[in-house]
Amino acid sequence: MSGGQPYYLTTPIYYVNDQPHIGHAYTTVATDALARFMRLDGRRVMFLTGTDEHGQKVDKSARAAGLDTQTFCDRVSQNFREVTQLMNISNDQFIRTTEPRHIKASQAIWRAIAAHKSPKGRDNIYLGKYAGWYAVRDEAFYGEEELTTDAAGKKHAPSGAEVEWLEEPSYFFRLSDWQDWLLDYYERHPDFIGPEGRRTEVVSFVCQEKRVKAPDGTETVIKGPLTDLSISRTSFSWGVPVPGDPKHVMYVWLDALTNYLTAIGYPDTESEDFRSFWPADLHMVGKDIIRFHCVYWPAFLAAAGLAVPKRVFGHGWWTVEGQKMSKTLANTVAPKLLVGEFGADAVRYFMLRELPFGSDGDFSRHALIGRINSDLAHGLGNFAQRVLSMIQLYCDAKVPLPGEFAATDVRLLGSARSLLSKLRIAFSEQAFHKATETIWAVLSDADLYITEHAPWEMHQAGSDRLPTVLYTLAEVTRHLATLVQPVLPAAAADLLDQLGQGRDSRDFVALAAHPLSPGTKLPPPHAIFPALELSSFSRELQAKARALAQQRARHILEALYGKTVTIDTAMYREEISRLWRMCGGKINGGGGISDDPKSRLKKGKAERNVWDAAKGEAQQRAQNAIKALLQEECAEDITTYKDEVERLWRICGGKPDKRQSQDVTIRAPPERIFDALTNPKRRTQWWGKPDYQGAQMESDLRADGRWVQSGEWRNGKSFQVAGVYRTVDRAHLLAFSWRSCTDKSGLESLVQFDLKEENGNTTVRVTQSGPEGTLLPERRWEEVLASLRKYVEGPTAS
Ligand code: MSP
């Protein structure tokens, strides 16, 4: 542990009823990044994690596993400990609530609470009888008004956990007397709960806000008293015995929360650790356990005469491939498998970069691989290897001696040097996504700097700027590697080794104090992140998608038409079109079936009833199919789905895509032809069919070669065309897809113009492909091309 101002941070302690999954790893990884950041920034850090081993839930799981409870706890706790090693977690302690030191601390806090009076001068703890609802899965008590009843008459907590009725003698904590104190505490400590939304949630719980409807329908919010909290159980014994009344065991949350004190020596409040580290700087928790940490915990602490932690942050939850992680769905993702496949750094990076920290998000392999390749392998890894390889080749494998820095060097170095202060803000707000984004923004500046300076050309030209440019790049790499250590500890260490940066020159002080020393010999560089074989992955994905699509298509047909209705492919075509529209970017915004085909089914009432019954289900299946295919909430690039729709189209008997092409040779340079094609004003001059005349168009050819056009046809329908324009070795390619205005299905066809220049002539090949009904007839294309030729060859074009 380094010197400096103390910083104490904790993860929740994990229940040992479950095997570790990525949800648990997420909390720990985020806390670890912060702990590492603080250490590098000179703080004396105490970072605590561990396992929560008491309570009814654990006891039940041990029985179900046929094991003695302690043996069961020992086993599962060990699995959590292994995950900390696997994920490269730098915790200073791993606590278990079955340890004797913790039993001692829990009993001590009970006594301290009992010894003090509540703010209203009453005993904080009293004996009574609990009669109410309890959810073993959450280890939480719920009021009747919080529950919902399912079709089978079973009652559920807001978390979805089933509740059971409980009646037993119990000690109570007089939480009701702490209501005003808590509200006042939140008011005076605006940073106590993060992010902001969770704070509102907590305050509204403590106010016990309820909406009441008056007979005239108006709603008012009334506030109620907080109810006292049951803090002991008598119907089982797996817990910490209540001091002086061992028939009771302490409520598992009171015992569990106390772990944060145990680890720093409580009840010895005079110990070195306790004096240094209490109150804790941060409890990192998931959003589901915010009530325990922001309501019960501060009240327990204040009642025991202890200070309250400075901050609690409630992060969001991960779903997996669009679904809640659960044992029943068997979709939990084990950190071990992920780390085995991708490495700890990549998984850590993905977790901290992919979601705004605090929000919920979805975990998918597809997204993970995408991130690894774009940000790590092709991003940081590629950049560093380019810089280091150029130093090897052009500077005799030694850190070059820079000359005078030019304005561009100073600018890039300046943005790298200003990173630390930005990261301090992001880390203090637990905005890990912002921290990584900020670092990667400098990386992209640095990439641009390489492109602009082209050091390989400088080398060829013997430019004396080369050592300064490469020194600038090496210094920027050192900054990036140093600052990325909290997130990518192993890769950053590897990179700093490759930069010849000593082990004692890697903290944030070293950023300014230990610049790279010219002349230092550097080892031959190697890649820090290998790029992942996307192709084999996508093959696998495609095979999976195809099997799924076939199965879903069959289901949809069955659901739509039942066994008695003969399958009519024309009708099915509607379904495909709808699927397509649903994915055309609209599914996220509600994506329902808007186009009711009932009116078009000129069939009997019986069929219409079949349709009605099946429609809802079909909709659901279609959405699931899309989600499953894309492995995501349809936020995917539309082109991925396009293949799928076409496949579905064919599987279901739709006609295969048509493809047709026409060639025409025109005596004009490609630039002129291109202009005539993309400039909306010129286009209306040669296209010349009534439908297209008078179309209002906005057209924009962007610097990156993307071309977008949108407008309105004369019949009032809007259209969109999107395309790309590229020049490859004097051959020009313009490809665009459009939505046909004549076919309401919204199916897209792709039109591609290849322009090849030879002996002053340009051959234009127009190829169009897409589902039947979306293509322009061949004859029409011939007319169009002839008109284009006439136009660009004639005098009006210039
Ligand atoms: N034992 C209690 C905590 C006591 S702290 C004094 C507990 N344990 S837990 O194992 O159920 O959950 C521990 C942490 O894992 C929580 O922060 C929870 O939010 C987090 N996660 C569990 N599943 C998760 C996801 N699917 N996604 C993100 N985090 C999730 O609660």
- Give the closest residue to 11 by CA, choosing from 81, 108, 105: 81
SS (H, E, C) 343-390: CHHHHHHHHHHHCCECECEEECHHHHHHHHHHHHHHHHHHHHHHHHHH
Which string of DSSP letters, residue by residue, matches 283-319? EEEEGGGHHIIIIIHHHHHHHTT-PPPS-EEEE--EE
What is the distance in A from the centroid of ligand 1 to the CA of 307?
24
Is the pLDDT at 564 greater than 60, yes or no? Answer: no
Which string of DSSP letters, residue by residue, matches 731-789? EEEEEEEEE-SS-TT--EEEEEEEEEEETTEEEEEEEEEESTTSSPPHHHHHHHHHHHH
CB neighbour class for 604 (10 Å; exposed up to 12, middle 13-18, buried from 19): exposed
What is the distance in A from the centroid of ligand 1 to the CA of 607?
50
Atom of ligand 1 nearest to the CA of 325: 26
The alpha helices in 41-68, defined as continuous H runs, are: 56-64
User: So what's the pLDDT on residue 532?
Assistant: 66
- Give the closest residue to 511 by CA, choosing from 24, 144, 41, 18: 41
Confidence band, pLDDT 50/70/90 cuts, at residue 530: confident
The pick from 261, 289, 332 for probing ligand 1's pocket by mutation, whose C-beta has the most ligand atoms within 8 angstroms, reads 289
756 backbone φψ class: left, alpha, beta (φ>0; ψ -120 to 50): beta
Confidence band, pLDDT 50/70/90 cuts, at residue 603: very low
- Give the closest residue to 583 by CA, choosing from 575, 742, 324, 652: 575
290-340 tens-digit pLDDT? 999 999 999 999 999 999 999 999 999 998 877 788 766 667 888 988 888
Confidence band, pLDDT 50/70/90 cuts, at residue 289: very high
Confidence band, pLDDT 50/70/90 cuts, at residue 268: very high
User: So what's the pLDDT on residue 642?
Assistant: 45
Atom of ligand 1 nearest to the CA of 318: 27
Is the pLDDT at 611 greater than 50, yes or no? Answer: no
User: So what's the pLDDT on residue 705?
Assistant: 59
Confidence band, pLDDT 50/70/90 cuts, at residue 567: very low
CA distances from 204 to 119, 173, 742 (A): 21, 20, 54
What is the distance in A from the centroid of ligand 1 to the CA of 83?
15
214 vs 576, more confident: 214
User: So what's the pLDDT on residue 508?
Assistant: 98
Bridge partners, 313 (sequence order): 194, 284
User: So what's the pLDDT on residue 726?
Assistant: 62
- Give the closest residue to 308 by CA, choosing from 326, 327, 328, 293: 293
151 vs 45, more confident: 45
What is the distance in A from the centroid of ligand 1 to the CA of 374?
30
User: So what's the pLDDT on residue 707?
Assistant: 61
Mean pLDDT computed over 230-245: 96
If you take atom 18 of ligand 1, which residue's CA is the nearest one?
A: 286
Confidence band, pLDDT 50/70/90 cuts, at residue 583: very low
Lowest mean pLDDT among 28-32, 371-375, 793-797: 793-797
Lowest mean pLDDT among 174-178, 424-428, 639-643, 688-692: 639-643
User: So what's the pLDDT on residue 151?
Assistant: 83
Is the pLDDT at 764 greater than 90, yes or no? Answer: no
123 and 117 Cβ atoms separated by less than 8 Å:
yes
Distance (Å, whole) CA 571 – CA 647: 17
User: So what's the pLDDT on residue 594?
Assistant: 29
327-385 tens-digit pLDDT? 666 678 889 888 888 899 999 999 999 999 999 988 887 788 878 888 998 899 999 99
If you take atom 5 of ligand 1, which residue's CA is the nearest one?
A: 12
Mean pLDDT computed over 697-703: 54
Is the pLDDT at 248 greater than 70, yes or no? Answer: yes
Is the pLDDT at 613 greater than 90, yes or no? Answer: no
Is the pLDDT at 629 greater than 50, yes or no? Answer: no
Neighbours of 460 (CB within 10 A): 11
Q: What is the pTM of this model?
A: 0.70
User: So what's the pLDDT on residue 729?
Assistant: 54
**What is the rounded radius of gyration, in angstroms, for the C-alpha atoms of the chain?**
33
Atom of ligand 1 nearest to the CA of 257: 6
What is the distance in A from the centroid of ligand 1 to the CA of 25?
9
What is the distance in A from the centroid of ligand 1 to the CA of 748?
45
What is the distance in A from the centroid of ligand 1 to the CA of 168?
28
- Give the closest residue to 121 by CA, choosing from 63, 65, 177, 53: 177
What is the distance in A from the centroid of ligand 1 to the CA of 625?
30
User: So what's the pLDDT on residue 76?
Assistant: 93
Confidence band, pLDDT 50/70/90 cuts, at residue 731: low
Lowest mean pLDDT among 132-146, 589-603, 664-678: 589-603
CA diameter of the chain = 105
User: So what's the pLDDT on residue 258?
Assistant: 98
Exposure of 331 in the CB half-sphere (CA atoms within 13 A): 14
Confidence band, pLDDT 50/70/90 cuts, at residue 702: low
SS (H, E, C) 659-711: EEEEEEEECCCHHHHHHHHHCHHHHHHHHCCCCCCCCEEEEEECCCCEEEEEE
Distance (Å, whole) CA 62 – CA 54: 11
3-class DSSP state of 325: coil
705-714 tens-digit pLDDT? 566 666 665 5
725 vs 692, more confident: 725
If you take atom 30 of ligand 1, which residue's CA is the nearest one?
A: 23
The binding-site residues of ligand 1, defined as CB within 6 angstroms of any ligand atom, are 12-15, 23-24, 26-27, 52, 256-257, 285-286, 288-289, 317-318, 325
Mean pLDDT computed over 459-475: 96
652 vs 7, more confident: 7
Q: What does the mean pLDDT of the chain come to?
A: 81
Q: How far is CA 780 from the centre of its chain?
A: 48
In sequence order, which residues have a C-beta less than 8 Å from that of residue 571 and are 6 or more positions away?
A: 560, 561, 597, 601
Q: How far is CA 535 from the centre of its chain?
A: 23
141 vs 601, more confident: 141
Helix 605-630 and helix 638-651, axial crossing angle in degrees, nearest 10: 140
Token reading at 692: 């297209």
**Type of residue numbered 46:** M
If you take atom 14 of ligand 1, which residue's CA is the nearest one?
A: 24
11 and 296 Cβ atoms separated by less than 8 Å:
no
Most confident of 41-45, 392-396, 545-549: 41-45
What is the distance in A from the centroid of ligand 1 to the CA of 769?
51
506 vs 674, more confident: 506
In sequence order, which residues have a C-beta less than 8 Å from that of residue 704 and are 6 or more positions away?
A: none
Mean pLDDT computed over 743-749: 46
User: So what's the pLDDT on residue 678?
Assistant: 75
The pick from 288, 352, 364, 432 for probing ligand 1's pocket by mutation, whose C-beta has the most ligand atoms within 8 angstroms, reads 288
CB neighbour class for 338 (10 Å; exposed up to 12, middle 13-18, buried from 19): buried
113 and 261 Cβ atoms separated by less than 8 Å:
no
Is the pLDDT at 62 greater than 70, yes or no? Answer: yes
Lowest mean pLDDT among 82-91, 205-214, 397-406, 539-548: 539-548
What is the distance in A from the centroid of ligand 1 to the CA of 14?
6
Confidence band, pLDDT 50/70/90 cuts, at residue 453: very high
Mean pLDDT computed over 20-34: 96
User: So what's the pLDDT on residue 42?
Assistant: 97
566 vs 556, more confident: 556
User: So what's the pLDDT on residue 657?
Assistant: 58
The pick from 27, 53, 58 for probing ligand 1's pocket by mutation, whose C-beta has the most ligand atoms within 8 angstroms, reads 27
Is the pLDDT at 557 greater than 60, yes or no? Answer: no
User: So what's the pLDDT on residue 358?
Assistant: 94
Mean pLDDT computed over 385-398: 94
If you take atom 15 of ligand 1, which residue's CA is the nearest one?
A: 24
Atom of ligand 1 nearest to the CA of 260: 6
Peptide bond into 195 cis (omega under 30): yes
Tally of residues, the chain: 798
Is the pLDDT at 461 greater than 80, yes or no? Answer: yes
User: So what's the pLDDT on residue 779?
Assistant: 82
User: So what's the pLDDT on residue 409?
Assistant: 97
Confidence band, pLDDT 50/70/90 cuts, at residue 573: very low
What is the distance in A from the centroid of ligand 1 to the CA of 338?
19
Lowest mean pLDDT among 66-80, 208-222, 438-452, 734-748: 734-748
154-169 tens-digit pLDDT? 999 988 899 999 999 9
SS (H, E, C) 465-506: CHHHHHHHHHHHHHHHHHHCCCCCHHHHHHHHHHCCCCHHHC
Is the pLDDT at 477 greater than 90, yes or no? Answer: yes
